[in-house]
Chain A
Amino acid sequence: MALKIVKGSIDRMFDKNLQDLVRGIRNHKEDEAKYISTCIDEIKQELKQDNIAVKANAVCKLTYLQMLGYDVSWAAFNIVEVMSSSKFTYKRIGYLAASQCFHENTDVIMLTTNQIRKDLSSPNQYDTGVALTGLSCFVTPDLARDLANDIMTLMSHTKPYIRKKAVLIMYKVFLKYPESLRPAFPRLKEKLEDPDPGVQSAAVNVICELARRNPKNYLSLAPLFFKLMTSSTNNWVLIKIIKLFGALTPLEPRLGKKLIEPLTNLIHSTSAMSLLYECVNTVIAVLISLSSGMPNHSASIQLCVQKLRILIEDSDQNLKYLGLLAMSKILKTHPKSVQSHKDLILQCLDDKDESIRLRALDLLYGMVSKKNLMEIVKKLMIHVDKAEGTTYRDELLTKIIDICSQSNYQYITNFEWYISILVELTRLEGTRHGHLIASQMLDVAIRVKAIRVFAVAQMATLLDNAHLLTGNMQRNGICEVLYAAAWICGEFSEHLENPVQTLEAMLRPKVATLPGHIQAVYVQNAAKLFATILKNQEGNTDSTAAQETSQMMIDRLPLFVQSANLEVQERASCILQLVKYIQKLQQKDVEVAEEVSALFAGELNPVAPKAQKKVPVPEGLDLDAWINEPPSESESEDEQPKAIFTKEEPKHSRPRHTEVDEKELARRREARKQEQANNPFYIKASPSSQKVYQEAPGVEHIPVVQIDLSVPLKVPGLPMSDQYVKLEEERRQKERAEKKKKEKKKRKEKRSGRGKKHDSGPESEEDITPAHVVDIVTEEMPENALPSDDDDKDPNDPHKALDIDLDKPLADSEKLPVRSHRAAGAPKSSAEDGEAENATPQEPKKKSSKEKRDKKKDKERDRKRSKEEKKKKKHKHEEKEEDLLGGQAEEPVVQSEEMKEVEAQPTSTSAEEAATVAEAAPAPEAPAGTAADSEPEEPKDTETEESSSKHKKKKQKKEKEEKEKKKKKKHHHHHHHSDGGGEESVQNGTVEEEEPLPPMSNYCLLAENSYIKMVCDIQGNLQDGSQVVVSVIFENKSDSFLKSMEFNVLDSLNSKLQRPEGSGPHDGLTVPFQLPPGVSNEARFVFTVQSIVMPQKLKGTLTFIVKNEDSSTHEKLDFKLHFTCTSYLITTPCYSDAFAKLLESGDLKSSSVRLEGVNMPFHHLLARICFHHHFSVVERIDSCASMYSRSIQGHHVCLLVKTSGQTVSIDAKCDEPTLLGNVLDEIKQTFSQC
């Protein structure tokens, strides 16, 4: 106490630090909570101080308390304060605290954007690193959008430490802001080949994460990864890549074939178990994806199984576990190869390690056959008895049921045995799976008609001994089985031996302690039983028995009438009144049995779980149609921001089966009938009355088992399944003997024949005939139900939004938002994005109603097609492969339906187009973006309804659509899978222009000598009207190490190199990296420019030190920087209406130029102008296009480009004639060079 007072009075230097806090908590074990609350009070005081050191200390302590479970969100703002400290020590504490306790809903996060941006661009790499680390934990969609561009710039940072962090965090950015994926992807891809292994590993990591969720979009990277796999020695990277291939192979069988060999080599050569294991896993995935037909197919499986066996036999439990895990994957497709290791797996069932036992259980599922099912289950039952933990026992229980019920009880030959197993399982104490057992009992009793007599008898015993089950535990899960027991006894009461006794058991007072829903079933089924009893007894002459039964009902039911459960109460009171009425009639000697049992007449058929969902929508019912006229949409709706994903979401719930024409219906019905006729298990719906059962089909075929003597049916201690095992053995033996006899006979008769062939070897699966000729009733489905299995994907899965086609060229609209105030970074990216300039959105703003209708039609068409695709799915696989082998695309040809729904317009890429992209892609400086960017429309843009109002092309487009429809129809019949691509190319109106663009680069040679080569690109800076950024790539051509590079330029009056504060006007700038031999790297320099109307040249020098092993020399290289007028232009999209207004305004001076002998396709020409001169295409009609660009100082430059033959005429307008003249000259020069 005294200390505290003193402390308050002296100074903050007595503040506890983290260590003191920890120590204090340890010293106050008894009153920890109280101590901590005083500490929190102190911390609150400290946070009020102005001293940032004190605050940081307080925040540090809070981080510790957060770990102990204390809510510290109240200090969020203080954390932000500490984050923004300029000292690294404090900043680090702040970011740590933030990463521990901030999350998406923390509102102060929005205050941090600028701080984080500042830290990201900090000259100190550790400030940047700390910010990246922190951000990776609490990035929100807003932060991701605002910072995506900054982070992308960091991916090319000179320090690998920052690069790898930036690369990793991009994954989080993609998740939160999916739009960033496409613009950032080219650079991410580049990082796969980064010289630093850490960065490379990070890039692999990110792409693997992305590809795992949407593998089909990453198939085109397969060759690159293949190269990495064969060249990398880093096991982390290898593991990731091999895992990725595991995800890709199902989509591309050819890839799998290629993989087998290197993977097999790795399996043989590697010493790292982790790598070996992943290789085996991927080989398994490959083998699964290749249906069959590989020559050394079985060899690979053998290799895998053999390696796995080694793992499983290892003494290391971890390897054993993983071996079993992988084994279960093989099991699905190649059960035979696993079955030969049954001994090993059964042995694992006895392992002391529960995880291993569980994995072994998984495998058992595939090990069973008709022959060994009983034996295996017997073994499991022993385990059930021995198992100590409830979780393991529950797992055993579910496994037993899984194993037995798999593929429609395929392996069960004796259902009596199964029922008794189920009954035995009810003796488990405290299991959670009562309902599972119950549903099995119900299922078997309903679907296997022949077993009903036996089942009913067993259930009656269960009901009679219900007290054993419920025991003392009220909430015991096992009492669920009573639900099943009561229902079975009621529903099939005609099989009961002693119905009165069962009825009595169901109406015991103890029943009232059962859960409500079970009581309800009891009451209802008591009524059914009652009806049966009446029917039996009325035949007798003695009517008193019947009256006694009624009396019993009347005596016992009031107990249920008082139940707190509404359902029980309602049913009980209903039935009570009914029985009272019956009693009245009985006393008058009226025959009532017939009428009472009519209440419960009719068979209940099992209904398939998805039946309801599959009821087709009747013809003529359009669920999408408005019932009333829709409220008039306001104009502004058209200008809604593009939200492709959210907007489309409702469509997912759209019913798919709207249109089924009459013929199709009839056809399906016919097919169904056929199928049913051929299905021996199918029972045709009979006019159902319960009597039918007694003469159920096939009774005379049942080889009767001598149940009477050996089965302890009436022993209340419940039956023993073991006896069935013995019985079954005997039965099978007998059968075999009989068969032999028969065969002998046959042989005797047919001495000459090849009777030997039938000589019974070991009993084969098929030889075992089930003890009961069971009718396994198939579950009912609505007529016309489609056999589709719609996957219920989680719509909230963030990865769904990342299902983005990455091979498509970048569109203009797909830029990362740039809000940077810094010079560097922004221009580069905008330039990169700008390469895909022409893809200006061209959708009319206001849609005429006609167009709307058109769109609707489109949708319908899509739907139809998707349905058709579904139908053709079976054939698809083969067809697809064929096509792939013919074409050379590494692309999945048919995209998933979801994708289509998301984009409304089908966008599947055709094989040809993919090939085009693939060819264009390798050019390093002209990423895929340039390849097809002259296409005026991106599907995405079609979606977004923002753009110009009066659209000249509208008409044309419609015509095209018409054409396209026709074309598509044709396509449909021939090879449907290419129609998606066909459609797209037609839509783009450039079928004939599909030919690839040559690779282009804006980097031009600056200077070169024997040591170093400099190439540069000059770009204007969008943010600052007077700045130009020069990106220079330095390439070390020598065998020596280059260091201390200094870049200097002689300033002119008009242009000056921006130097850091404090340096003189003639000082050089240090290039922020060194160059090992053969390495190149990029640096950027910012220049300020006064006037931009004239091109100019600046002289400069690069000095550097060449360091050899023994000597170092000083070298220099002179260069001339050429600022063209083009470099002052910035690609800016312009809509045609704005463009028209601009031209009409009359402020612009015009000029024109003619180019002769231009020998290239028009779209190449446009692409070149766009790429080299930073223009964007506003509109293009045939051989005429309007283009637009803007200078960094806001001058508008408009071009009208026309072509006829080899002559191209360019009419241009600009508000600055000198600038325009120079730009035109430069354009002319560009084309004269090629």
Chain B
Amino acid sequence: MIKAILIFNNHGKPRLIRFYQYFHQAAQDTSYCKAEDMQQQIIRETFHLVSKRDDNVCNFLEGGSLIGGSDYKLIYRHYATLYFVFCVDSSESELGILDLIQVFVETLDKCFENVCELDLIFHMDKVHYILQEVVMGGMVLETNMNEIVAQVEVQNRMEKSEGGLSAAPARAVSAVKNMNLPEIPRNINIGDINIKVPSLSPF
């Protein structure tokens, strides 16, 4: 089972969090701790664990104390500015999950056309929808990229046919509000997508 999927950037800012297990108890004391606080703590802890690792070390490490310790494994990949971290238990194949991350990122790349951190920042909901086609309730749902993309696109078309979420005026206004957007280089796309993956031969 996959217990959690975390995406955060090089500074530890969360870009997507998806917990498949309900973590709510603070580890040290038994006092009740709200799920949101717990989740933030887990993100911080995981970031701390992952960020201090060089890029040329292995992609597995034991979970932090908050997320189940040595029973769970953190399997992550670092793409440009983003960390994709999957927290899994022993029933998952480590290399399989690495490959799943790759599939997920490549799917994002297809859906967003040259995905970069900004896409994830502004379209968290869409990223969730894509993820929902890959992993469901902590179990791998689909690993075929074409199938995933096809399902996502059908649903996007449905959304479009319903007129989408926000009507045109809001878009216009937001264009005006857009003026002082801080410069973010658009070129931080995932260039090194062909990082050597221990091949899980095509599915």
- Residues of A near any B CB (own CB < 8 A): 13-20, 22-24, 26-27, 53, 56-57, 60, 63-64, 66-72, 87-90, 92-93, 96, 100-101, 103-104, 126, 132-133, 136-137, 161, 164-165, 168-169, 171-172, 198, 201-202, 205-206, 208-209, 212, 234-236, 239, 243, 270-275, 277-278, 316-322, 352-356
Contacts and interface: CB of A to CB of B under 8 A. Distances in A.
B200 A235 contact: yes
Contact of B22 (A96, A104, A126, A201): A104
A273 B95 contact: yes
B58 A103 contact: no
B125 A18 contact: yes
B170 A60 contact: no
B60 A202 contact: no
Given A13-B169, A60-B165, A212-B91, A26 B182 contact: yes
A72 B58 CA distance: 37
Interface stretch (B29-37, B80-88, B108-116): B29-37
A70 B203 CA distance: 39
A89 B128 CA distance: 14
Contacts of A354: 57
Interface in B52-97: 54, 56-62, 91, 93-96
A169 B141 CA distance: 10
B125 A172 contact: no
Given A13-B167, A18-B125, A104-B22, A321 B136 contact: no
20 contacts: A13-B170, A14-B170, A17-B170, A20-B173, A23-B122, A27-B182, A53-B166, A69-B37, A89-B164, A96-B129, A161-B151, A168-B136, A168-B141, A239-B93, A272-B200, A272-B201, A317-B57, A317-B58, A321-B58, A353-B57
B85 to A, nearest CB: 14
Nearest to A104: B22
Nearest to B15: A67
A168 B125 contact: no
A1026 to B, nearest CB: 36
A96 B125 contact: yes
A161 B150 CA distance: 11
Nearest to A125: B154
B140 A205 contact: yes
A239 B96 contact: yes
B93 A243 contact: yes
Q: Which of A53, A168, A318, A354 has the most CB of B within 10 A?
A: A318
B132 interface: yes
B21 to A, nearest CB: 10
Nearest 9 A/B pairs, CB to CB:
A136-B137, A274-B95, A317-B58, A353-B57, A273-B198, A69-B40, A13-B169, A321-B58, A17-B166
Contacts of A15: 166, 170
B96 A355 contact: no
Contacts of B200: 235, 272-275
Contacts of A235: 96, 200-201, 203
B143 interface: yes
Given A88-B162, A136-B137, A67 B94 contact: no
Given A17-B166, A26-B121, 12 more contacts: A13-B170, A18-B124, A19-B123, A23-B122, A26-B182, A53-B165, A67-B124, A69-B40, A136-B137, A201-B140, A277-B95, A321-B58
B148 to A, nearest CB: 11
Given A22-B121, A26-B182, A69-B37, A126 B158 contact: yes
B91 A209 contact: yes
B140 to A, nearest CB: 7
Q: Which of B122, B136, B147 has the most CB of A within 10 A?
A: B136
For chain A, what secondary structure do more than half of its interface residues adopt (helix, strand, loop), or is it mixed?
helix
Contacts of B165: 17, 53, 56-57, 60, 89-90, 93
A60 B16 CA distance: 14
Contact of B199 (A56, A165, A272): A272
Chain B interface category by residue count = 35 or more
B106 interface: no
A103 B201 contact: no
A53 B167 CA distance: 9
A133 B132 contact: yes
Nearest to A270: B201
B1 interface: yes
Q: Which of B155, B163, B196 has the most CB of A within 10 A?
A: B155
A316 B203 contact: no
Nearest to A56: B165
B34 A71 contact: yes
Nearest to A29: B182
A15 B174 CA distance: 10
A126 B170 contact: no
B137 A137 contact: yes
Nearest to B151: A161
Given A13-B167, A277-B93, A209 B136 contact: no
Contact of A317 (B1, B56, B62): B56
Given A317-B58, A322-B94, A23 B125 contact: no
Contact of A271 (B61, B96, B164, B199): B199
Given A53-B165, A206-B139, A274-B95, A60 B203 contact: no
Contacts of A212: 91
Contacts of A56: 165
B20 A67 contact: no
B45 interface: no
A205 B139 contact: yes
B74 to A, nearest CB: 10
B181 A23 contact: yes
Given A89-B159, A316-B196, A67 B17 contact: yes
Q: Which of B1, B170, B181 has the most CB of A within 10 A?
A: B170
B107 interface: no
Nearest to B60: A321
Contacts of A89: 158-159, 162-165
B36 to A, nearest CB: 5
B46 interface: no
B12 interface: no
Contact of B155 (A71, A92, A132, A137): A92
A201 B38 CA distance: 33
A23 B178 contact: yes
A205 B96 CA distance: 13
A445 B37 CA distance: 47
A450 B137 CA distance: 60
B155 A88 contact: yes
Contacts of A273: 95, 198-200
A213 to B, nearest CB: 9
B67 to A, nearest CB: 16
B28 interface: no
Nearest to B201: A272
B133 to A, nearest CB: 9
A88 B91 contact: no
A204 to B, nearest CB: 10
A318 B125 contact: no
Nearest to A171: B139
A963 to B, nearest CB: 46
B159 A88 contact: yes
A24 B164 CA distance: 22
Interface string B169-184: 1100110011011100
Contacts of A318: 58-60, 94-95, 98, 198
Q: Which of B163, B166, B196 has the most CB of A within 10 A?
A: B166
A1094 B18 CA distance: 58
Nearest to A316: B198
A88 B155 CA distance: 9
B93 A198 contact: no
A17 B128 CA distance: 17
Given A70-B36, A277-B93, A318-B60, A133 B136 contact: yes
Contacts of A355: 57-58, 60-62
Given A23-B181, A89-B159, A202-B141, A356 B58 contact: yes
B182 A274 contact: no
Given A126-B158, A137-B137, A317-B58, A69 B36 contact: yes
